[in-house]
Amino acid sequence: MTPSHDRDDRDPHPHTSRVRLREALANLPSYKPGRSAAGSSSADAGPVFKVSSNENPYPPLPGVLEVVEEASRSMNRYPDMFATGLVDAIARRFDVPAAHVATGTGSVGVLQQVIQACAAEGDEVIYPWRSFEAYPIVVGISGARSVRVPLTVDARHDLEAMRDAITERTRLVLVCSPNNPTGPAVHHDEMVEFLKDVPDDVLVVVDEAYREFVRDARAVDGLALYRRYPNICVLRTFSKAYGLAGLRVGFAFAHDDVADALRKTAVPFGVSGVAQAAAVESLNREAELMQRVESLVKERSRVQEALRAQGWRIPHTEANFIWLELGEETDHFAEKCGEAGLIVRPFGGEGCRISVAEPEANDLLIRIAAEWRG
Ligand X SMILES: *Cc1c(COP(=O)(O)O)cnc(C)c1O
Cβ closer to ligand X: 142 or 237?
Answer: 237
Cβ closer to ligand X: 42 or 146?
Answer: 146
Q: Residues 234 to 253: which contact ligand X by CB under 6 A?
A: 237, 239-240, 245, 250
Using the rule CB under 6 A, is 141 a contact of ligand X? no
Minimum CB separation from ligand X for residue 202, in Å?
20
Minimum CB separation from ligand X for residue 173, in Å?
15
Minimum CB separation from ligand X for residue 367, in Å?
26
Minimum CB separation from ligand X for residue 109, in Å?
6
Using the rule CB under 6 A, is 209 a contact of ligand X? yes
Instruction: Rule CB under 6 A: choose which of 87, 89, 204, 207 binds ligand X.
Output: 207
Cis peptide before 59 (omega within 30 of 0): no
List the x/- string, 81-110, binding to ligand X by CB under 6 A: -------------------------xxx--
Cβ closer to ligand X: 42 or 107?
Answer: 107
List the x/- string, 105-134, binding to ligand X by CB under 6 A: -xxx-----------------------x--
Cβ closer to ligand X: 132 or 333?
Answer: 132
Cβ closer to ligand X: 214 or 340?
Answer: 214
List the x/- string, 155-194, binding to ligand X by CB under 6 A: ---------------------x---x--------------
Using the rule CB under 6 A, is 276 a contact of ligand X? no
Return the CA Rg of the chain: 22
Minimum CB separation from ligand X for residue 10, in Å?
40
Minimum CB separation from ligand X for residue 270, in Å?
11
Q: Provide the sign of the torsion angle of the four alpha carbons 149, 154, 156, 160, taken in this order.
A: negative
Tell me the residue nearest to ligand X as measured from the CB. Answer: 106
Minimum CB separation from ligand X for residue 238, in Å?
7
3-state SS, one letter per residue, for the chain? CCCHHHCCCCCCCCCCCCCCCCHHHCCCCCCCCCCCCCCCCCCCCCCCEECCCCCCCCCCCHHHHHHHHHHHCCCCCCCCCCCHHHHHHHHHHHCCCHHHEEEECHHHHHHHHHHHHHCCCCCEEEEEECCCCHHHHHHHHHCCEEEEEECCCCCCCCHHHHHHCCCCCEEEEEEECCCCCCCCCCEHHHHHHHHCCCCCCCEEEEECCCHHHCCCCCECCHHHHHHHCCCEEEEEECCCCCCCHHHCCEEEECCHHHHHHHHHCCCCCCCCHHHHHHHHHHHHCHHHHHHHHHHHHHHHHHHHHHHHHCCCCCCCCCCCEEEEECHHHHHHHHHHHHHCCEECEEECCCEEEEECCCHHHHHHHHHHHHHHHC
Cβ closer to ligand X: 297 or 340?
Answer: 297
Cβ closer to ligand X: 239 or 272?
Answer: 239
Please give the residue ranges that form the binding site for ligand X (CB under 6 A): 54, 106-108, 132, 176, 180, 207, 209, 237, 239-240, 245, 250
